[in-house]
């Protein structure tokens, strides 16, 4: 059993200065502009797996805005161009976990019926508006909102009718047996039989060793 921090850092830069990663494991999602990881270019709307020591660099004049997710034993370090917007401590009971970066897109008014996921995760709303209803609170998320969902925590989400689409990027820490598989479990049988209107795009699945094994 090990304790880790699951965090989100936003990095905005018009500079081409190189940024070195400091988290143990992580993910990069390019919201705006163009970036590179170890010299490989990554365009807007694309995600990539990060490791300790990877080199991130914004392309010249790209006005990059980078969303970074971290799984680390310590809080991520901020610099002049970045800030940690959310950090939650989680407990991992295995020596290996599956890290997943994916993106969920809703048409207007679509509902993710009350459901759970088998691992903790952080979400970043990139477009639109989403009503998030859990068992103990309700919130309306606008673009730029970041929130944490514990493992096996029931939640329902409804996309606004006022936007052409609503989407969020999600970084989850999952049991390894979910590699390549969907994690959503609809809790009501009648809801599970209804059409699912939201579409999920997986940027990567990566199994990592988090403890000596």
Could you give all domains of the chain from N- to C-terminal order, each with its CATH number? 2-92 (2.60.120.10), 96-203 (2.60.120.10)
Task: Report pLDDT for 63.
Answer: 81
Identify which of 60-74, 78-92, 185-199 has the greatest average pLDDT.
185-199
The C-alpha atoms of residue 172 and residue 92 are separated, in whole angstroms, by: 12
Task: Report pLDDT for 52.
Answer: 84
- Kindly state the helix (H) or strand (E) to which residue 70 belongs, with its residue range: strand 64-72
Mean pLDDT of 91-118: 97
Task: Report pLDDT for 80.
Answer: 47
Q: Which residues contact 189 (CB under 8 A, 6 or more apart)?
A: none
pLDDT above 90 for 120: yes
Mean pLDDT of 145-172: 97
As beta bridge partners, residue 97 has 208
pLDDT above 80 for 59: no
The C-alpha atoms of residue 182 and residue 34 are separated, in whole angstroms, by: 29
Apex CA 168: angle with CA 6 and CA 3, to 5°?
10
Classified as helix, coil or strand, 210 is coil
Q: Which pTM was predicted?
A: 0.92
**Cβ–Cβ < 8 Å for 110, 58:** no
The C-alpha atoms of residue 122 and residue 18 are separated, in whole angstroms, by: 25
Residue 208 phi, psi dihedral angles, 5° rounding: -125, 155
pLDDT above 70 for 15: no
pLDDT above 70 for 79: no
Residue 176 phi, psi dihedral angles, 5° rounding: -65, -25
Residue 167 phi, psi dihedral angles, 5° rounding: -150, 150
Here the contacts of 193-197 (C-beta below 8 Å, separation 24 or greater) are: 194/113, 197/106, 197/107, 197/110, 197/111
């Amino acid at each position: 059993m090990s304790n880790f921090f699951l965090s989100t850092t936003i990095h905005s830069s018009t500079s081409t200065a190189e940024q070195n990663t400091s988290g143990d494991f992580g993910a990069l999602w390019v919201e705006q502009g163009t970036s590179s990881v170890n010299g490989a270019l990554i365009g807007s709307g694309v995600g990539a797996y990060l490791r300790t020591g990877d080199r991130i660099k914004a392309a010249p004049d790209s006005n990059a805005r980078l969303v970074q997710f971290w799984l680390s034993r310590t809080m991520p370090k901020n610099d002049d161009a970045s800030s940690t917007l959310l950090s939650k401590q989680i407990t991992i009971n295995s020596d290996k976990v599956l890290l997943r970066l994916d993106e969920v897109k809703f048409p207007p008014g679509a509902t993710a019926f009350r459901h759970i996921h088998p691992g903790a995760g952080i979400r970043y709303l990139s477009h639109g508006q989403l009503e998030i209803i859990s068992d103990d609170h309700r919130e309306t998320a606008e673009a730029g909102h970041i929130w944490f969902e514990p493992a096996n925590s029931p939640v329902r989400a409804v996309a606004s009718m006022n936007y052409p689409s609503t989407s969020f990027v999600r970084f989850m820490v999952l049991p390894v047996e979910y590699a390549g598989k969907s994690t959503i479990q609809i809790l009501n049988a009648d809801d599970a039989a209804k059409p699912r209107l939201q579409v999920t795009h997986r940027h990567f699945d990566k199994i990592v060793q988090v403890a000596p094994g």
